[in-house]
Amino acid sequence: MKKEQVVNCQFSVWYPIFKKHTIKSLILPLPQNVIDYLLDDGTLVVAGSDHDTQTHSNSDLNGDLNAEEDIQWSDDETTTTVTAPEFPEFSSHVLEAINALGGSVFPKLNWSAPRDANWIALNSSLQCHSLSDIFLLFKSSDFITHDLTQPFLLCSDQDSPDPAINYELVLRKWSELIPGGEFRCFVKENKLIAVSQRDYTQYYQHILKQEEQICQAVEAFFSQHIQYNFLDEDFVFDVYRDSQGRVWLIDLNPFGEVTDSLLFSWEELTSGDLTQQQEGPAFRYATSEVTVQPSPCLSYRIPRDFVDLSTGEDAYKLIDFLKLKKSQQEDSEEEEERGGGRPPAVTRLV
């Protein structure tokens, strides 16, 4: 995977080519102050409200809220007040775009959507109605941080200079897609070599029953609309097959390890074995409840340190954790000796 291939898979590069075959979308330049805000570890709150229709007519409620704002919750004189950032011009453009797309959108950056952060939204969905909704997802997403900081991380030509990237906010018209209708397709040398069920965490009975029709629909869509029309000959594209059997393009991704290979391995996809085994593309999907797999996005719902400790991926964190536990145990023993073995007093909070 080359850096040029990553650049070519930016939404603003492929969308004009396949606009007729995908979901209506709008692209907004991302100002530098917004990028800085997304990368900042500070407050999630933005100043003002982009919900013009939400008003409070209850004066008593407003009075209570104003009174609460005056309460000082800290006696620390060094405490500093965090000022909520303001992006009036950008906010106006975003709200205008959301309204133009029907009031509900699916947000993403040049490459990634914040799929790892849907758990933090009130509706556990990537459906957004305002800039605040978008910021909440983006600032909680490792996928978005990767786009902003390490877009060329796994490229083979690391010695070459990184291409300049103009970051963009992509707003896609919200559409209710059934996960069982999504498929990921792998293309090598402009040949469709593999198709995988996109949501492999579930068993969808209709895929088993319609395997032949799905394969034919995807192959026909590829040959008629995608093949030889993209800038690279190696790439990955996602499609959605609706209830009428029509296929829609959802996304394009680089052909490399930065893209999830789902029910295949990258060794299989790059070795050439799949093309030797059969004429058409290999098609894989969950064939029963037993073959489903856990979602990799579940690990993003807990602190990264917990994941590293539980899997043993970071030995140094485990060593530090054991040292901490040992130190706590020694401190506890010393306190017991000084207190004559008496149990510590317990304060009950009511």
Please tell me the distance from the alpha carbon of residue 160 to that of residue 169, in angstroms, as a whole number: 27
Give the C-alpha distances (Å, rounded to integers) separating 243 from 53, 178, 185, 202: 35, 9, 19, 18
pLDDT tens digits for range 242-270:
999 999 999 999 999 999 999 999 999 99
Whether residue 98 is predicted with pLDDT greater than 70 in this model: the reply is: yes
Domain boundaries, the chain: 24-43+87-173, 179-284
Amino acid (one-letter) located at 338: R
Least confident stretch, 235-239, 288-292, 308-312: 308-312
pLDDT tens digits for range 26-79:
999 999 999 999 998 865 666 544 544 343 334 444 554 454 444 454 555 555
Q: What is the CA radius of gyration of the chain?
A: 25
Look over the chain and give the mean of its residue pLDDT values, rounded to a whole number: 82
pLDDT tens digits for range 300-311:
445 555 555 555
Report which of 112, 184, 105, 121 is spatially closest to residue 142, judged by C-alpha positions: 112
The pair of three-digit structure tokens given for residue 53, joined into one six-digit string: 């229709």
Strands (E), 205-311: 235-241, 247-254, 282-284
**Exposure letters 324-337 (e unless 16+ CB within 10 A, then b):** eeeeeeeeeeeeee
